[in-house]
Structure 1
């Protein structure tokens, strides 16, 4: 299957090598291999939409997507084309957001819009990848847009320095994007920016990823546009706890590795939504404990039947399961 034979010729060759195979069995073996997604069309050519420089730049992306994509595509460059044609909103350019924005730019997302209200501070430099000592006092958005442009001049980088202060701000902000990376934490609390993002993204049918860390525990929650949603997840957490026990996974404790892992998990969740690798990522939470390598968090939230945001019997609800030690 080196590209020099048709499927019929390959099946005939199999029958010569293994005489006990019936014609139907030989055809079935070849068909199974093709449907696995690992076999490419011999006529596959890089699309004109990608220049030779882009093919060189993204050659390792191309190899990654060819290895991980199990869905037959028209071309092996389809995943990279999806990235190039996509628009992503990165909200928050701190520890998680700076790494997320860098990864998305490096991977070739076509347009990235950055939003943050803060200026660079000395304490940011321990973990926020886009800033230097000479940037202290400058708006983060201004610095980030310039630095990301240096990472990849083929990506359109835009930004605005603003605060999100109400739900309508979020509704207006997410409109027109293909995915959202939520890396901001203010206004905090469950009735704050995360709830606003959840409802705005559901209304706009935009998938989004929420990255964060609590000390050594680093995680990302990814929410498909069809649910289950963030409010389903928090309802499931509340239901598992005794009344009156608060859940607060935030805090100031962070070092460069925890911010970096958080940002890259968030970027990967967004990339999965954009490329459809896997084809239907769905909603999930995954994470690691950096000082306890045997602890791995993974769950797919159940759809909450009375969820005020997505209570439509979300079709892709899956049994919840958490692995941790």
Structure 2
């Protein structure tokens, strides 16, 4: 049996992943810890095969930007060094697409990370320090997911879902965005654990998501009627230059598919199996969250 420790006791990803993994309870045992006080430093890490580090400060208002670096960089490295010292075999660090500092465009293997906010900068600095700890006996996996959505998730998806349930009109746009359904992410994490993977990873759904199609699918699941207005692209482009948040809704931002694995990448076709939940099914499961098991 593999024993896994998850930092970030009340995180959406952590708690949802443990629940999803209950069908494998004979193969895995999970523990979670909160890093908000110093008691974790007395925890015995030597009993764990892997640590999944989810504890982080995301986009919140703080008195000082230094808190981002204290939590996202310094704390992550301290946990990893303790894990290394106590012979944990693998450390999985959740980073972010924000390390690239891009609002639009396509991220390829040649795209150089250039974060432009404290969240992205602190995560990138943590990545660099953590990868220095990598060895044959201590595998470091850095995961840079795009927007994650799923039942009970918070964030931009939920804002769009609320809008789709209220609005009668929505612009028809032709953008593409990388997104990641929670179950696809969980399959990916399991693959990382099973194979003790190391390196930098960019998991995403098998297909890019178009914002108009996303809103349309949400409306269908909630039996709402929305009229999609054509000819809005030019206006949206103009407004996006002034209101940057519009890029997160209507702009195109993708990972090149080669970053997320091909049948002959890493360890064969198994790598591609994680994204097996298709878009329409993922929206149905997300919108019908009260029935989700």
What TM-score, normalized to structure 2?
0.34
TM-score by length of 1: 0.31
Where relative contact order (Cα < 8 A, 6+ residues apart) is larger, the structure is: 2
The structure with more radius of gyration: 1
Structure 1 or 2: larger helix share?
2
